[in-house]
């Protein structure tokens, strides 16, 4: 089965084209090596997946051509303990950090631009 199709079926990416772009961009590694979207995977292969800020290390358990509900998709893979703890630590770290752009909504106003110019953007 194609790696991009499996990633879509396992719900790591919302669309198959996003999965294909991620694999082409080097954000997915199969058994530690970068790969192409058409690469065939089989049960037992280890995938390293980077999707924006989230990273997973999973072992393929079952192959599926169809995208099903999330509880069924979780049965397609087994996540490593290191990956689970790293994701949990990252989630807790983001919980206390405020995004600097959280107060900005849309385009800056004339007043906002003047303040940015005053402080050197």
Q: Where are the domains of the chain?
A: 3-92
pLDDT of residue 104: 67
107 pLDDT band, cuts 50/70/90, is: confident
Q: Please state, in angstroms and as integers, the Cα–Cα distance from residue 41 to each residue in 2, 31, 66, 72, 111, following that order.
A: 6, 10, 15, 19, 55
101 pLDDT band, cuts 50/70/90, is: low
Tokens 């989630």, residue located: 91
Residues 3-92: name the CATH superfamily.
Answer: RNA-binding S4 domain (3.10.290.10)
The 10s digit of each residue's pLDDT in 67-81 is 999 999 999 999 999
pLDDT of residue 121: 62
pLDDT of residue 43: 94
Mean pLDDT (the chain) is 89
């Amino acid at each position: 089965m194609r790696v991009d199709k499996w990633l879509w079926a396992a719900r790591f990416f919302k669309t198959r084209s996003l999965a294909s772009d991620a694999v082409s961009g080097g954000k997915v590694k199969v058994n530690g090596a970068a790969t192409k979207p058409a690469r065939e995977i089989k049960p037992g292969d280890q995938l390293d997946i980077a999707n924006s800020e989230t990273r997973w290390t999973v072992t393929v358990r079952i192959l599926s051509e169809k995208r099903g509900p999330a509880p069924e998709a979780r049965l397609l893979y087994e996540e490593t303990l290191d990956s689970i703890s790293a994701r949990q630590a990252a989630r807790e770290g983001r919980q206390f950090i405020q995004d600097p752009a959280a107060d900005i909504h849309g385009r800056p106003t004339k007043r906002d631009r003047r303040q940015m110019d005053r402080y050197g953007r």
